[in-house]
Structure 1
Amino acid sequence: MLKGCFNRRDLHQPTEILITGATGAIGGALAKLYAKPGVTLHLQGRQQDILQQVSRECCSLGADVNIYCIDLLDTTALLTWLKHIDDLSPIDLFIANAGMNINIGCESLGENEEEMAQLLDLNVKATLLMSGYLAKAMRKRGRGKIALISSLAGFYGLPIMPSYCASKAAVKAYGEGLRGWLAGSGVSVCVVMPGNIQSAMCEAMPGPKPLMMTPESAARTIVRGLANNTARISFPFPLNLGSWFLMLLPDTVSQKILQLLGYTRPTK
């Protein structure tokens, strides 16, 4: 399963791996891809039954697995938990994958303020706090890797889900800054920007979903990129290019393109 996913340029293959959002499609696929003898996986998720199923599958592949249902929105508990894990088993690879999405609703009435606050706390606050804490710990050790899961939606704000796009743009910018700060320290940071991935969250999102990928295919792309220390792992290529052009084009042109593609009003 793992053949071809690791690259010779990655001289230190991670053995202590922390993945948040492991009950999600990408998180679960990444956990199973990294699972092998000699690897300890620390998996966080909100759905106990799914987390236990992912754990069983990873254990069957030879990995040691610890699972946690901790609420990432509780900042005090989050940092205490993170310190405890890293003190006992220094993390080699942290994949900040936990996240959620909201939209403006079927009648385009706008996003709910309480949901907006929760999204920003999870997608941005928890992700940045965890990454920042582990970045300092890894820097002291002189080794480690951090992968921040952003999205192609972070290139340009989509009218149907502005808060989600803003949160992923923040994660992208933070990861880029973190990578620059840690350059030469032995710690690498990669920003991951997937397109549409087959998942419950993606299915719940309004608007068209071109070039849909399986979680397994996305996970293989991510693992290869991390092994190569690719600064920005963005895929699939055609959608990546289109999202990038939306950012570069004049706003009136970009908005017209989104309108023509059906991204301006959610459909059931």
Structure 2
Amino acid sequence: MTRIVITGATGAIGQALAAVYARPGNRLILHGRQRDVLETLADNCRDAGAEVELSQVELGQAEPGQFEQGQFKQNKDDALFAWLESLCAPSVPDIVIVNAGMNINIGEDGSGERWEDASRLLEINLRVPMAMGNFLGKRMRAAGRGQLVLMSSLAAYHGLPVTPSYSASKAGVKAYGEALRGWLAPYGVGVSVVMPGYVSSKMCHEMPGPKPFLWQPERAAKVIARGIERNRARISFPFPLNFGCWWLAVLPAAISQRLLNWLGYDPDHGDGAH
């Protein structure tokens, strides 16, 4: 029985990934915040032949003001680590896809992000994936098997002016995942960093800026699953957007920033990646 954990399973990509892996011989552990969506998804996956377990454990999202007060709610860490420990019994999961995430932007008037929102975003987008990677990486290393899949974004190559905190969090996930892969590869543990472009979802469509080469989540999930099967270090799409974003990281920053403004990502444009 192959055990596959998916956090953020109630999001567009999470649901599509669950559908890809929903087949006989797979046991899915689906985590999400929307109970009704989670239960419907579980029923569909069971109909496809998979065994399904659901979780709504608090992953550790910070409350407004938490960071300003210098407080970290230890009970949230305890709940997360207790859940991760349960996932490792009797053995580590075969695949863990850390997909939960959120996005914010500088606002329609370009006035900037609220620090409370940015703190909450960094907690769920970066601190939680690092906590999961740290905890599960050690146990997978000891077991000599398993694969971690971290969800970054093409926005990790060069920060978008309209979504600075999101871009920073995804750049952090990219760097962390790459480092984990180097550490864990000699022990038979795979790590893949997923870097999607624009995938149709509520979060995507709420973000400002143009959305070139928009993919449907079903297409993205199939590409991600193929990359996971091959233990690819980086799963980025779609071409040519991924190639263009890579160049933004290679070119001098001043040129990249001018290109982004020219393409419509400047703060003065009304109307982000993943």
> Which interval holds the TM-score relative to the shorter structure?
over 0.9
Aligned-partner Cα distance in 2 for 1:177–1:22: 25
TM (norm. structure 1) is 0.93
In the TM superposition, residue 177 of structure 1 has moved relative to its aligned partner by: 0.2
> 1:11 matched to which residue of 2?
none
User: How far apart are the structure 2 equivalents of 1:65 and 1:89?
Assistant: 17
Q: Which consecutive segments of 4 or more residues in structure 1 shift more than 2 A?
A: none
Q: Is the 8 A contact 1:75 1:126 kept in 2?
A: no
What is the Cα-based RMSD across aligned positions, in Å? 1.1
Which residue of 44, 54, 67 maps to 2:31? 44
Contact 1:18–1:95 under 8 Å retained in 2: yes
Map residues 89-238 of structure 1 onto 2, 5 A cutoff.
90-238=92-240
**For 2:134 and 2:175, how far apart are their aligned partners in 1?**
13
| Residue of structure 2 equivalent to 1:35 | 22
Q: Are the aligned partners of 1:158 and 1:263 in contact in 2 as well (CA < 8 Å)?
A: yes
The CA distance in 2 between the partners of 1:229 and 1:211, in whole Å, is 25
**1:5 matched residue in structure 2:** none
Aligned residues: 255
Q: Is the Cα–Cα contact under 8 Å of residues 16 and 89 in structure 1 kept in the other structure?
A: no
1-structure distance, mates of 2:38, 2:149? 20
Structure 1 counterpart SS, 2:89: helix
Confirm whether residue 58 of structure 1 aligns to residue 45 of structure 2. yes
* Larger deviation, residues 189-198 vs 245-254: 245-254
Offset at residue 88 of structure 1 (A): 4.2
Q: Are 1:21 and 2:24 matched, yes or no? A: no
The TM-score normalised by the length of structure 2 is: 0.91
Q: Who is 2:270 aligned against?
A: 267
| Matched residue type, 2:243 | L
Percent of matched pairs sharing the same residue: 52
Q: What is the SS of the residue equivalent to 1:83? A: helix
CA distance in 2, matches of 1:142, 1:121: 29
1:227 maps to a residue whose letter is: E
